[in-house]
């Protein structure tokens, strides 16, 4: 039995092998090998289509961190099936295309490793049932997207674009993570299926709304919704196959997936409805409006992608209203918005993928994608032109292409929703069809720009570096296949509807019973209805506006470049860079003294503060052991020696004073019934003193320290505070006898370890491992000493 | 007795801290040495002083003094010796390479 976990893991495994295979078979383009991965997975998934279509779902659990409720659980249902097929299907075509797009001179092993990483991560996002696992894969798609955008990392634009995409999508991802944790707090589970089945009891929970907003932030950043859309145009610095794959067909649809997946969780809520549909509508309009003014073909497609993503997003929002109303034969009509969303998403992947590949061909063959330098390519690039026309007209929503069908359904859904009698839609609902219609006009205009400015009109060979020529056959295969789908879906839409979209609908509306009712029969002709009239209007107005484009284009000059979201992003970025620079330089001085002072200061404030705050200090001298006179003398000797060290003029004196301290402690060890310690201390102290003296013969004499009075005072205060604090803690701990001592256990040393000396028995037996590691420390220190001296003598210095 | 020793520990910690905050590398190393003296005494004091007999089963009568702090200190003495030796040689090498034993002058500025 095919496991979905395997589908996620496979790309990662293959990615690990790519560099080796690349090295071994340099003469073959590594892409041929990599292409087998998505093809295999596509076939494996496609074999499951009939079972999924009949309502079956597949789950597989691999225990990961069960104590934290984090398991690698995969869930294959209708919704994830669509995405799985898109990821692997478009993935295969894109890799095929990339084989001809990227020459073997590029660092292909990196490219395909990143691409496989992305593919595995993206499959992980759509197949994971566990939210934590989903989050990990989600961020992994951002990381691989970052790597792919910056693939040509010698270009500044690539690096900046990658950074922008990373920062925006990852901040959204983190917000989403917080949302997931809130969901877990509410429902007690990370499993999406369990959340869906238990969420109805939590809609009044205080965390319900924050969780919804945070999850939406994740979805909106990833799917480039207004105002987070600014990363997508900059991401176009990536090689075109990447743009076609990540930034139009798959990764940017992760947000769509998330919204669709969470529709059963949050869908009945008014805030969800308004946020998703309004944000989607704004994105739809803003994207298409801005696409018109672009002169770079890829930027045009980027804005077009933003706009189309907004369209799908708003449809998901409109469709969620059905969950609010609840299941009835009347409310089924509203679910058609969701159906249209899924349908359009597939269509968008086909026509936009094809269009990106067309731009890639133009860019690759002619060295530019600036429409001011292009024109008249039709005659010399007939295949490319055909694909471009199919893709553009489908995008514009014209028959006989699949975009027409989903666009009609989109118009129908907006008209439908403006008649709904919930959420005061009867008053405000009219906004939806109007915005949809206006945005579609702009969509129509930029589609015309794409066709006419690039392929028609006079050719301008003098502005091109290379002669106009048709692309190699290999590069045309993938776009032609996609174009075939664009046309094929138009003629057989219900095949798609029944086998792919119907099971997905029942994933989004799990409470709606028979999914069959949710699947309308798609047809190109359904009589003269508002949606058809809207399409005709779009074509008429769009054509006129395209004709007089020059007259109204100055409108774009009205938008000041000072107040764009890009400026905001740049300012925030440079300000935070400057700010963190100032802060870091402020305290990272490079002086050991300062760092030590921070550590001590922190200790004094936190530990001392807590000691004071908790009132833990206590003192009781009544239980003290008696004091003899010679002990007082010894303490006095040590105290004097210690203070004398501070004022020692020569290093020799200081070292000897340290010796005095060490030997005095050895005497204390004798008094305090610790003969082993006394012996060890004597030996170690002797060797240490000798070592100091030895080192002195190689070190310069002490100079008078040039420290200011102020520094001395600060150091003095820190030192005294440390001393006092340690004293207070010591005194308090002495009085702390809430627990029995555990030492009595070791008094059986003779029976347990066969040693009469308890200390020795502890070191050599009870805590033998500790002693072994202690020896390791000694060994490493000795190794370090040896190496440092050895390194020097090799350079010809004197020996120690 | 314990209070007196803790007073001594306080003095040692004060001196050690002041030494560690100086600029001369040898003073810093001496500071760490004094610090470890203080800590050893502290650990021993926490196990109560001068109570019971030497923890040698065959040699003395019960009750024995607490043997656990002694085992800890024995480990600590050896480790602090190893570390002192290591940083001494490090200081010596740093002086060889950079020609200074002043931590302010040793501060690297090249990679900023």
Residue in A102, A39, A366, A98 with CA at minimum distance from that of residue A244: A98
Nearest CB partner across the interface for B81, out of A672, A676, A688: A688
- Domain boundaries of chain A, sorted by first residue: 269-540, 548-588, 596-738, 750-800
Q: Give the Cα separation of B31 and B19 in Å (integer).
A: 5
- CA–CA gap between residue A55 and residue A361 (Å, rounded): 41
CB atoms A778 and B86 under 8 Å: no
Each as own residue / partner, the long-range contacts of residues A766-769 (CB below 8 Å, 24 or more positions apart, any chain) are: A767/B71
Among the partner-chain residues B18, B67, B103, the one whose CB lies closest to the CB of A646 is B18
Is the bond preceding A227 in cis, omega lying within 30 degrees of 0? yes
Average pLDDT, rounded, for chain A:
88
Q: Which domain range does residue B40 map to?
A: 2-103
Contact: A759, B62; criterion CB under 8 Å? no
| Tokens found for residue A753 | 């370890």
Among residues A265, A163, A276, A159, which one has the least CA distance to residue A216? A276
| Matching residue, tokens 């003629």 | A491
Query: Which residues in chain A are contacts of B65 at CB distance < 8 A?
Result: 672-674
Q: Are strands A58-65 and A70-76 parallel, antiparallel or unpaired?
A: antiparallel
Band (pLDDT 50/70/90 cuts) for residue A514 is low
The residue-averaged pLDDT of A166-186 equals 93
Minimal Cβ distance to A642: which of B15, B52, B66: B15
Torsion angle, alpha carbons of A118, A120, A122, A125, to 10: -140
Query: Which residues lie closer than 8 Å to A123 by C-beta, 6 or more apart?
Result: A7, A8, A11, A41, A84, A87, A88, A137
Q: Do the Cβ atoms of A42 and A92 come closer than 8 Å? A: yes
* Residue B22 belongs to some domain of the structure: yes
Written as six digits, the tokens of A235 are: 């991401």
CB contact under 8 A, B67 and A734: no
Q: How far is CA A473 from CA A34, A103, A252, A479, B19, in A?
A: 20, 15, 29, 11, 78
- Binary contact (A785, B75; C-beta < 8 A): no
DSSP A238-275: S-HHHHHIIIIISGGGHHHHHHHHHHHHHTT-HHHHHH
Which pLDDT score, from 0 to 100, does residue A792 have?
58
Reported confidence tier of residue A177, pLDDT bands at 50, 70, 90: very high
* Candidate from B4, B7, B103 with C-beta closest to A593: B103
B20 lies in some domain: yes
pLDDT at A507 over 70: yes
**Minimum distance, in Å, between the CA of residue B33 and any CA atom of chain A:** 8
Is the Cβ–Cβ distance between B30 and B42 less than 8 Å?
no
- The answer to whether the CB atoms of A758 and B57 lie below 8 A apart is yes
- Chain B residue numbers with beta carbons less than 8 Å from the beta carbon of A778 are 78-79, 82
Residue A694 has pLDDT above 50, yes or no: yes
Tokens (6 digits) for A122: 């993206």
Q: Quick one: pLDDT at residue B112? A: 47
Instruction: Specify if B42 maps to a domain.
Output: yes
The whole-number pLDDT of residue A567 equals 86
Task: Name the minimum distance, in Å, from the CA of A653 to any CA of chain B.
Answer: 12
Q: Report the phi/psi class of residue A457: left, alpha or beta, with left for phi > 0 and alpha for psi in -120 to 50.
A: left
More confident residue, A486 or A735: A486
Three-state SS at A467? coil
> Domain containing B61 — which CATH number?
1.10.287
* CA distance from start to end of chain B: 53
Give the pLDDT band (50/70/90) at residue A180. very high
Q: What gap in Å lies between CA A323 and CA A268, rounded to an integer? A: 5
Q: How confident is residue A800, by pLDDT bands cut at 50, 70 and 90?
A: very low
Residues of A in contact with B59 (CB under 8 A): 756
Q: Measured at the alpha carbon of residue A139, what is the angle toward residues A137 and A141, in degrees to the nearest 5?
A: 70
Nearest by CB: A774 against B65, B79, B112: B79
A731/B contact by beta carbon, under 8 A? yes
d(CA A440, CA A307): 10
Q: What is the pLDDT of residues A767-787, one digit of tens each?
A: 899 899 999 999 999 999 988
Least confident of A200-214, A623-637, B51-65: B51-65
Among residues 3-32 of chain B, which lie with CB inside 8 Å of chain A?
3-15, 17-24, 26-30
Residue A754 CA to residue A748 CA, distance in Å, equals 9
Mutation pick from B9, B20, B109 vs chain A, by most beta carbons of A within 10 Å, is B20
Compute the distance between CA of residue A391 and CA of residue A361 in angstroms, rounded to an integer: 14
Buried b (16+ CB within 10 A) or exposed e, A497-520: bebbbbbbbbbbbbebeebeebbb
Structure token digits, residue A761: 């028995």
Give residue A799's pLDDT band: very low, low, confident or very high (50, 70, 90).
Answer: very low
Number of structural domains in chain B: 1
């Amino acid at each position: 039995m095919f496991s979905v976990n395997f589908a996620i893991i496979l790309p990662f495994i293959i990615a690990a092998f790519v560099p080796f295979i690349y090295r071994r078979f340099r003469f073959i383009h590594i892409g041929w090998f990599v292409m087998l991965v998505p093809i295999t997975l596509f076939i494996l998934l496609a074999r499951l289509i009939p079972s999924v279509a009949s309502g079956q779902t597949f789950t597989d659990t691999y225990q990961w961190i069960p104590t934290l409720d984090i398991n690698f659980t995969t869930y294959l249902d209708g919704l994830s099936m669509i995405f799985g097929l898109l990821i692997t299907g478009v993935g295969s075509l894109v890799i095929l295309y990339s084989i001809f797009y990227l020459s073997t001179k590029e660092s292909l092993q990196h490219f395909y490793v990143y691409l496989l990483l992305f593919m595995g991560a993206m499959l992980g996002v759509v197949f994971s049932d566990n939210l934590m696992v989903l989050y990990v894969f989600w961020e992994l798609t951002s990381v691989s997207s970052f790597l792919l955008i910056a693939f040509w990392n010698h270009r500044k634009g690539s690096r900046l674009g990658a950074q922008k995409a990373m920062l925006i999508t990852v901040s959204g991802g983190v917000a989403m993570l917080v949302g997931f944790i809130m969901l877990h707090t509410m429902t007690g589970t990370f499993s999406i299926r369990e959340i869906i089945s238990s969420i109805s009891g939590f809609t009044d929970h205080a965390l319900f709304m924050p969780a919804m907003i945070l999850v939406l932030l994740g979805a909106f950043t990833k799917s480039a919704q207004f105002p987070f859309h600014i990363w997508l145009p900059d991401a176009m610095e990536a090689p075109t196959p990447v743009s076609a794959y990540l930034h139009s067909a798959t990764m940017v649809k992760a947000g769509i997936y998330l919204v669709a997946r969470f529709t059963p969780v949050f869908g009945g809520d008014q805030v969800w409805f308004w946020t998703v549909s309004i944000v989607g509508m704004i994105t739809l309009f803003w994207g298409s409006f801005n696409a018109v003014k672009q002169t770079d073909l890829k930027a045009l497609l980027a804005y077009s992608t933003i706009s189309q993503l907004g369209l799908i997003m708003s449809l998901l929002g409109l469709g969620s209203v059905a969950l609010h109303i609840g299941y009835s034969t009347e409310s089924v009509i509203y679910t058609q918005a969701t159906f249209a969303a899924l349908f359009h998403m597939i269509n968008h992947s086909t026509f936009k993928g094809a269009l990106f590949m067309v731009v890639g061909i133009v860019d690759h063959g002619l060295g530019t994608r600036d429409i001011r330098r292009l024109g008249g390519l039709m005659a010399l690039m007939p295949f490319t032109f055909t694909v471009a026309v199919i893709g553009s007209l489908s995008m514009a929503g014209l028959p006989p292409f699949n975009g027409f069908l989903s666009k009609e359904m989109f118009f129908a859904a907006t008209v439908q929703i403006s008649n709904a009698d919930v959420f005061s839609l009867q008053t405000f609902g009219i906004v939806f069809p109007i915005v949809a219609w206006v945005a579609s006009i702009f969509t129509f205009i930029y589609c015309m720009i794409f066709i006419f400015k690039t392929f028609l009109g006079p050719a301008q060979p003098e502005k091109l570096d290379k002669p106009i020529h048709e692309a190699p056959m290999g590069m045309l295969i993938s776009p032609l296949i996609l174009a075939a789908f664009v046309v094929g879906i138009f003629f057989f839409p219900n095949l798609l509807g029944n086998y792919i979209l119907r099971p997905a609908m029942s994933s989004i509306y799990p409470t709606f019973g028979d999914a069959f009712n949710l699947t309308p029969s798609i047809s190109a002709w359904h009589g003269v209805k508002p949606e058809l009239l809207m399409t005709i209007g779009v074509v008429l107005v769009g054509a006129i506006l395209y004709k007089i484009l020059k007259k109204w284009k100055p409108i774009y000059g009205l938008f000041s470049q000072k107040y764009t979201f890009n400026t905001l992003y740049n300012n925030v970025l440079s300000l935070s860079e400057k700010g963190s620079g100032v802060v870091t330089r402020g305290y990272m001085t490079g002086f050991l003294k300062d760092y030590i002072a921070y550590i001590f200061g922190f200790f004094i404030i936190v530990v001392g503060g807590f000691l004071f705050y908790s009132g833990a200090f206590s003192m009781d001298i009544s239980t003290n052991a008696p004091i003899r006179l010679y002990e007082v003398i010894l303490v006095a000797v040590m105290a004097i020696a210690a203070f004398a060290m501070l004022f020692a003029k020569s290093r020799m004196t200081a070292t000897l004073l340290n010796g005095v301290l060490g030997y005095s402690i050895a005497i204390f060890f004798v008094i305090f019934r610790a003969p082993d310690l006394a012996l060890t201390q004597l030996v170690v102290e002797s060797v240490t003193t000798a070592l100091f003296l030895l080192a002195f013969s190689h070190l310069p004499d002490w100079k008078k320290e040039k420290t200011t009075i102020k520094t001395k005072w600060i150091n003095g205060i820190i030192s005294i505070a440390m001393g006092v604090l340690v004293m207070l803690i010591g005194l308090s701990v002495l009085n702390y006898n809430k627990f029995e001592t555990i030492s009595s256990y070791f008094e059986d040393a003779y029976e347990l370890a066969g040693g009469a000396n308890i200390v020795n028995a502890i070191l050599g037996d009870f805590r033998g491992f500790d002693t072994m590691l202690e020896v390791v420390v000694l060994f490493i220190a000795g190794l370090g000493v040896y190496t440092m001296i050895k390194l020097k003598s090799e350079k010809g210095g004197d020996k120690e | 007795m314990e209070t007196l020793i803790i007073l001594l520990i306080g003095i040692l910690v004060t001196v050690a801290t002041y030494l560690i905050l100086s600029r001369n590398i040898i003073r810093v190393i001496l500071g760490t040495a004094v610090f470890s003296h203080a800590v050893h005494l502290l650990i021993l004091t926490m196990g109560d002083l001068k109570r019971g007999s030497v923890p040698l089963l065959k040699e003395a009568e019960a009750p024995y003094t607490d043997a656990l702090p002694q085992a800890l200190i024995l480990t600590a003495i050896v480790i602090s010796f190893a570390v002192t030796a290591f940083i001494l040689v490090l200081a010596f090498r740093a002086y060889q390479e950079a020609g200074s034993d002043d931590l302010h002058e040793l501060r690297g500025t090249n990679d900023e």
